Amino acid sequence: MTVPDWEGYVFPPAITHTQLGRRQPDRRGKVRDIYELGDKLLIVATDRISAFDSVLGSGIPLKGKVLTALTIFWFETLPAAAKNHLVTADVEQMGSDVAPHAELFRGRSMLVRKAEVVPIECVVRGYLAGSGWKEYRQRCAVCGVELPGGLGESSRLPEPIFTPSIKAESGHDENVTFERAADLHGRELLTQLRDRSLELYRQAADYAAQRGILICDTKFEWGKAGDDLILVDEILTPDSSRFWPADQYVPGQAQPSFDKQYVRDWLEQDSGWDKEPPAPDLPDHVIRRTAEKYLDAYYRLTGRTELP
């Protein structure tokens, strides 16, 4: 696949904060601004970027649009993603509160139905990397799932595995076993989360492989809307997943990726930052290269060169 050459591409300014007229968001996450609109929510993906639990001082141009467009693409493409919270991504259909600000919100917003979010991050791993690789070296297992010996960094697993995480009292994510999560939230619910998350990963991984991308791992969030268990938040984006170029895959070492690893590397190797707030601003070359990586992922997966 020929990937567009982004050299010379003029990026628009990053959008790091939004408001509806004079109204501030009801909730502001690391990336998303959330507005209460009656029985629905307006979720706006800004261009903020976080690393090491801190929001950085610089935004990544178009990042929020990539996250939103990819999420909607997967909702529309994967049968396992059909049950989700999306009502519309068309700003013209979002009501009178949003209409005057259509240009700001276009392409980076979703109007969604409210759901009771299940407080578990449903992580699925197809390869050994990150915290999974670290735990495997200690125990030859990840989140209680025993694995064969002799695997190396970035090795493909015999089968994808479900490795849930919960929010610890410290506020950080804590990897837990299926049994521990089932004790907290019920075995029936955890079985549904596991089975549906694994099927969603398999469908996405099969599709992405045809487009030259390996999905190392990813995380899903689910919510209850009445009797339905539905997908909420983003899915299968460079923020929630590790995407690797298949033509550069070499087991036994770290892989190049289409995510914010480029930012993490600069922070750890060149910035002098001690990982305590406030986080530093990013230099222009890191901002631009990261924006290009997000656009590359979008293009490779969808075949589209234009964002909504």
Each residue's pLDDT tens digit, 94-124: 999 999 999 999 999 999 999 999 999 999 9
DSSP labels for 25-64?
A: PSEE-SSEEEEEETTEEEEEE-S--EETTEE-SS--TTHH
The answer to whether 127 and 157 have CB atoms below 8 angstroms apart is: yes
At 240-282, the pLDDT tens digits run 999 999 999 999 999 999 888 889 889 999 899 998 989 999 9
pLDDT at 8: 77
Number of Cβ atoms within 10 Å of the Cβ of 43: 24
> What does the mean pLDDT of the chain come to?
93
CA 122 to chain centre: 12
**DSSP E strand stretches across the chain:** 27-28, 32-37, 40-45, 50-51, 54-55, 86-88, 109-113, 116-117, 122-127, 141-142, 145-146, 156-162, 165-167, 173-175, 213-225, 228-232, 241-245
Q: How far is CA 203 from CA 167, 196, 206, in A?
A: 27, 11, 5
CA distances from 131 to 141, 145, 161, 253 (A): 11, 14, 14, 14
With residue 246 as reference, give the H or E element that holds it: none
Determine contact, residues 116/131, Cβ cutoff 8 Å: no
Looking at the predicted structure, is the pLDDT value of residue 230 above 60?
yes
Strand partners, 112: 41, 86
List the structure tokens of 82: 């059909």
Both tokens of 91, joined, read 């700003």
Q: At what angle do helices 284-302 and 63-77 cross, to 10 degrees?
A: 20
pLDDT tens digit sequence for 12-57: 999 999 999 899 999 999 999 999 999 999 999 999 999 988 999 8
pLDDT at 3: 57
Phi, then psi, of 37 in degrees rounded to 5: -130, 75
CA distances for 29 relative to 45, 55, 62, 193, angstroms: 10, 9, 18, 24
| Amino acid, single-letter form, for residue 179 | E
pLDDT band at 170 (very low <50, low <70, confident <90, very high): low
pLDDT tens for 3-18 read: 567 777 889 999 999 9
Q: Mean per-residue pLDDT for 289-304?
A: 93
Is the preceding peptide bond at 61 cis, omega within 30 degrees of 0?
no
Predicted TM-score (pTM) of this structure: 0.94
Q: Report percent pLDDT > 90 for the chain.
A: 84
What are the strands of the beta sheet with 109-113, ordered from one edge? 27-28, 32-37, 40-45, 109-113, 86-88
